[in-house]
Structure formats: C-alpha cells, structure tokens
Amino acid sequence: MRDYPQSMTPPEGVEPVPRRVRAVLAGRVVLDTVHALYVWEWPFYPQYYIPLSDVDPDVLVDEQHVQRVSRGVTRLHGLRVGDTERPGSARVYTDEAVEGLAGTVRFDWAAMDSWFEEDEQVFVHPRNPYTRVDALRSTRTVRVELDGVVLAESSAPVMVFETGLPTRYYLDRTAVHFEHLEPSDTITPCPYKGRTSEYWSVRVGDQLHPDLAWAYDFPTAALLPIAGLVAFYNEKVDVVLDGEPQPRPTTHFFR
C-alpha cells in the first residue's frame, strides 16, 4: 500500500482488511474473521468493523437500545463470557447504516483482553495500513544530553522511522550513562512495536524528569533490531547527530 506523507491524512471511508482478525475475552474467542473492514473514524488510524456472522452470538447481549450515530442506526450490545461482562461495548449496525456497514459490529477496543492480526497481538488500536515503521542500523554518531549532562552516546544506533513521528534513536545499553537514570513503573503499548518492558526517568542535579527513556525487550517481529536498546524522547532531551544539534520536535506526546 502507498504511504501518505506526514502532512496528509489517510483516506476517509471504508476499506477491506486483508488480514485475519481475532479478539479474545476471558479466554474465549469472541470474533474470528477474514472479512473485517477498516473504517476511519478520525484521521490517524482506523477501527475494525466486524461482520456479525463472524462474531460468537452467545457472547452478545442485546441491551434493547437503539442509537443513531454518524454512520447510521445501531443497536447497543454488551459482551458476556461467564462472569465477565462488558456492558455497552458493541454497536451492531442495522440496515439503516451507510453503504457497506449494515450487519457489521463495532467493538470498543478496550472491552477485549487481546486482539490479533493473523497470529500477532496488536495493541492500542488497529495498525494504520498507510503507516510505515522501519528500524535501520546506522553508523551515525548520536549523543543525547539534558541540561549539559551527557545521557548516552553511540556510533551504532538503530534509527526508527515512523510515519508522522520524529526519528527515534535506539542505543545499546553500554552506551547509556545509567547513573543518571532511575527506573519507572510506567509501561506503554504501541500497535507497531509492542509493549515496553522498561521505562526510566532522568535525574539531573536535584530535578527529576519523569519517563524520558524506554526499551522494548520483546518488540514485534518487524522491530526486532530495537530489542533491548534504549531510546529517549527527542521532545524532552537534546540530540546531537554527527555533531549537529537537532531541534526538539513537537508531537502529541509533549506539546
């Protein structure tokens, strides 16, 4: 598929998902389909809409409530698997839906315990098919500083290029000055890289800067080159690349 430049938004509307999609709740497969649809509800990533015929009917609980939303009329359903209940978490589109969506179900992502594309778990939201994430080894020299203190320096970074985000520099742990880092309990998921295994805050003098560095010990298969490496938020530290100071970017993480 074609990649969209950072300044453009993905196409609006509906597209078929070419991957098998499954979701699990309380150990039970709630849906299993090769006919899911991508529906863009806002510009940055789509949602899955699932054919009702590919949803386990025994887990759906009709809450007898009709809602009119932007794409048509839906009947609100909950989910029930044994003692586990997720009220109001599924919207079944009726015949009064926009073209192509009648007979589909839109689930709240967080209502499920896990989602899968083929046999790989997906986190946070469906992956945007128009986003690329590439991890490339490099011999460029990267130095990370904060308030004049060097936090890390390496001439063997892995550079991660992700559509719409600044380049991230992943560095070997031997290149990181851990005397300035303090472990954090934070864990964050990413639909493209997986779930972080570690986070660190940075202490410079008497000031603690929370959650500025992280690592993925077990990233997704496509991002295996970053396994165990440490990256910093460019937005909150100073990066010097091949001797040239880089401007701090502005992203939705820090504004």
Domains in the chain: ranges and CATH? 14-122 (2.170.150.40), 133-246 (2.170.150.40)
Instruction: List, for residues 22-74, the tens digit of each pLDDT value.
Output: 999 999 999 999 999 999 987 778 999 999 999 999 999 999 998 888 888 99
Cα 206 to Cα 86, 180, 201, 203, 213, distances in angstroms: 45, 11, 13, 7, 18
- Work out the mean pLDDT of the chain and round it to a whole number: 91
Residue 5 clears pLDDT 60, i.e. is over it: no
Instruction: List, for residues 175-215, the tens digit of each pLDDT value.
Output: 999 999 999 999 999 999 999 999 999 999 999 999 999 99
Instruction: List, for residues 213-229, the tens digit of each pLDDT value.
Output: 999 999 999 899 999 99
Residue 6 clears pLDDT 60, i.e. is over it: no
Q: Rounded CA gap, 43 and 12, in Å?
A: 8
Residue 3 clears pLDDT 90, i.e. is over it: no
Nearest to 62 by CA among 78, 84, 48: 78
Instruction: List, for residues 64-114, the tens digit of each pLDDT value.
Output: 998 888 888 999 999 999 999 999 999 999 988 877 899 999 999 999 999
Residue 254 clears pLDDT 90, i.e. is over it: no
Q: Give the pTM.
A: 0.78
For residue 8, what is the DSSP state? Answer: S
Output the pLDDT for position 255.
58
